Amino acid sequence: MKSIQKIHTILYVENQEISTEFYTKILRLKPDLNVPGMTEFHLTDDFTLGLMPNSGIAKILAGKTPPPESGTGIPRCELYLYVDDIEAALKNIHDNQIAVISGLQERNWGDMAFYFADPDGHIIAFATKIKN
């Protein structure tokens, strides 16, 4: 029996507006929710990507962990997203003048993928399965 019904991943960001603009460009989607303190992109029926300002989560954590902004610019997670058209995804990244960290290539786990980072240093990969 599966107990997880949906995945909602929230990235802590320095500037919600800048990050919202960045993710709107790379996902080629408008956010489903964009209010002070939270932006959400419903990527699939089972997965939502959220963006929350560092200051917002800092209030919730109430000093019980290091402040989120101490990690800004340092890779803290990786979003590995499968896309329908890897070439179109790469073109979109280039068109938006986003630096690619690791170019599109066949990976030894059976995917074609490329990697880049968001304004806060979170690593993002767009990938597609290699058809045999």
DSSP annotation of 119 reads T
> Strands across the sheet with 33-35, in order?
7-13, 47-53, 38-44, 33-35
For the stretch 118-127, pLDDT in tens is 999 999 999 9
Statement: residue 2 has pLDDT above 90: no
Statement: residue 94 has pLDDT above 90: yes
Average pLDDT (25-46) is 97
pTM: 0.89
Homologous superfamily of 7-129: 2,3-Dihydroxybiphenyl 1,2-Dioxygenase, domain 1 (3.10.180.10)
